[in-house]
Amino acid sequence: MLNNYSSADKVLLAVDCIIFGFDNAGLKILLIQRDFEPEKGKWSLIGGFLKRDEVLDAAATRILNTYTGLNDIYMEQLYAYSEIDRDPVERTISVSYFALINIENHNAELIQNYHAEWFPINEAPNLIFDHNEMVQNAIKRLRYKTSVKPIGFELLPEKFTMRQLLELYEAILSKELDKRNFISKINSLEILNKLDEKDMQSSRKGSYLYTFNKEKYEEKLLNDFVLNL
Amino acid sequence: MLNNYSSADKVLLAVDCIIFGFDNAGLKILLIQRDFEPEKGKWSLIGGFLKRDEVLDAAATRILNTYTGLNDIYMEQLYAYSEIDRDPVERTISVSYFALINIENHNAELIQNYHAEWFPINEAPNLIFDHNEMVQNAIKRLRYKTSVKPIGFELLPEKFTMRQLLELYEAILSKELDKRNFISKINSLEILNKLDEKDMQSSRKGSYLYTFNKEKYEEKLLNDFVLNL
DNA sequence: TTTATTAATGTAGTTTTTACACTTACATTA
DNA sequence: TAATGTAAGTGTAAAAACTACATTAATAAA
């Protein structure tokens, strides 16, 4: 009964990446304008095909690197999309991945070369294929993640203020949070280092800068917790 | 640049199903003894290949039906496994699905014909390929699901006692739950109908039977909630 | 030195969660 | 038919978590 294998259909397997970034203006996703058919010129997630000798995680990493120049980015597999005609050219199953990156750190040139652009999540253009759905599901997953894992290290600059962290969470959850309650909940996680340094951009008084305590942060990544914001 | 497609590698895409069932003895998974190479005779999840004109959900449903005769079973996609040599015969990416079924309702004959067997989750044999990992991840997902969606309708007989429901949750979470607190939390969901009928098997006094209120149950399935057990 | 602006900080009231033990109903047996 | 044994059923008080909320502090600019 070896023909279980030989009689089976082969398909193309793609990877599409939902890349989240954050800056003063809020939560954004990285999109490209396709430079090949079909749907040339339309906006799309960055993506590519899985190679024969490559695991999915590696494909996602390679694709991210191709378009942004970034390495060592945390990515997470989300879901396999398999509607028959989702790609009009050929039957293609696509596995979505999401990544969190610091907008300031990305290689702007590469993004330029690929006609890539950051869009606020609420102002993103209509996307090809089922990419809109992929984005919506990724946002859901990102929201969920805030409640069980620490988030921020990936999206914020190395030194950041409490307000920036608060605004990041507000952008992800798309709701207002009480500042004092937020601070005490975050502090209870014990993943921040408060520096002696202040950021003077935002006010006369200046606000303390923080860094993530990398060891504690990664310790928390290993075990789920519950964070009600 | 149409050769984006033509130059891409095609692969086999499989679906493997983690099928959970529950009876007096606890939480179980359905496994089969493979009747084809490789690994003929070893225990495995039930699975099969995706067909060219089939979406993944349909493949999962078809495979479940083939081995159990069951239809209309809730299934959920979990994860795509893509290690290069996970299947020694040929490069195969497998998408796992999990299903919850009522052991009493399955078609025993079909299971017999396919050398399938229910195993308590803690006493399952070693499985082929990466199927052990798939099972472990499915258990994690099932645990998570208890905290955001109602579970039970799929796994319990139509009429059941509070104790059965409690034991189901204890089996899934693999921890003891306080009986009174459990009952009041479940009652607060308002998804149960208390019948006038009693089950006299378990005690002299007899314990009330319940059914799920199908409308309210499915309403709750649409929206997440938080259930701390 | 006054003013304007954002940062920083604590608590009381409410809600939720937890821990916990006795009584009830009934079949069985003496 | 009375006594016994077994699991079912039920409520509360204490602790913990969460929410809402307003004043003072630090500093640069005028």
Q: Kindly report the CATH number assigned to the domain that includes residue B166.
A: 1.10.10.10
C-alpha to C-alpha distance for B186 and B174, rounded to whole angstroms:
18
Residue among A5, A9, A53 whose CB faces B90 most closely: A5
| A180 is near strand D: CB distance < 7 Å | yes
Residue A3: enclosing H or E segment and its boundaries? Answer: helix A3-6
CB of B207 closer than 8 Å to CB of B163: yes
A164: CB partners within 8 A, 6+ apart: A156
What secondary structure letter does DSSP report for B127? Answer: B
- Cα–Cα dist A21/A1, whole Å: 50
Q: Which nucleotide is nearest to A194 (CA to C1')?
A: C8
CB contact under 8 A, B79 and A77: yes
Check: CB of residue A210 under 8 Å from CB of residue A159. Answer: yes
Choose the closest CB to A36 out of B4, B53, B55: B4
Q: Looking at the structure, do residues A126 and A166 belong to the same domain, yes or no?
A: no
Tell whether A102 and A193 lie within a shared domain.
Answer: no
Whose tokens are 């950021």? That residue is A199
Q: Which residue is nearest to nucleotide D29 (CA to C1')?
A: A204
pLDDT score, position B78:
98
| Strand D proximal to B180 Cβ, under 7 A | yes
Last residue of a domain, one of B121, B146, B171: B146
Contacts of B4 in chain A (CB under 8 A): 36, 49
Query: Are A45 and A114 part of one and the same domain?
Result: yes
pLDDT of residue B109: 76
> Separation of CA A194 and C1' C8 in angstroms?
13
Q: How confident is the model at residue B3 (pLDDT cuts 50, 70, 90)?
A: low
Residue environment code for A172-182, b if the CB has 16+ CB neighbours within 10 A, otherwise e: beeeeeeeeeb
Nearest chain B alpha carbon to A2: B37
User: What is residue B132's DSSP assignment?
Assistant: H
CA dist A206 and A199 (Å) reads 5
State whether B107 and B173 are in the same domain: no
pLDDT tens digits, one per residue of A14-61:
999 999 999 989 999 999 998 888 889 999 999 999 999 999 999 999
The shortest CB-CB distance from A79 to any of B50, B53, B77 is to B77
Mutate to test the interface with B, among A33, A37, A49 (most CBs of B within 10 A): A49
Residue B90 lies in a domain: yes
Q: For the ranges A90-94, B102-106, B152-156, which has the lowest average pLDDT?
A: B102-106
**Greater confidence, A6 or A123?**
A123
H or E stretch at A112: helix A108-113
Are both A210 and A143 inside the same structural domain?
no
Interface contact flag, B9 A49, Cβ < 8 Å: yes
- Choice among A96-100, A167-171, B36-40 with the minimum mean pLDDT: B36-40
* Contact A222/B at CB under 8 A: no
Inter-chain touch A91–B4, beta carbons under 8 Å:
no
Among the three residues B99, B114, B146, which one is the final residue of a domain in this structure? Answer: B146
CA of B166 to C1' of D17 (A): 25
Are residues A114 and A190 both part of a single domain? no
| A114 close contact with B: CB closer than 8 A | no
Number of domains in chain A: 2
Check CB contact of B55 with chain A, cutoff 8 Å: yes
Q: What is the pLDDT of residue A3?
A: 54
User: A142 and A53, same structural domain?
Assistant: yes
The answer to whether the CB atoms of B79 and A82 lie below 8 A apart is no
pLDDT at B2: 43
B180 touches strand C (CB under 7 A): yes
pLDDT at A141: 97
Q: Say if residues A67 and A26 touch (Cβ distance below 8 Å).
A: no
Query: How much is the average pLDDT of B165-191?
Result: 97
Pairwise CB contact (< 8 Å): A93 & B9: no
Choose the final residue of a domain: A148, A173, A189: A148
- The chain A residue lying nearest B140, using CA atoms, is A224
Q: Is there a domain that residue A153 lies in?
A: no
Burial of B53 (0-12, 13-18, 19+ CB in 10 A): exposed
Expressed as residue numbers, the domain containing A11 is 3-148
Supply the pLDDT for residue B1. Answer: 41
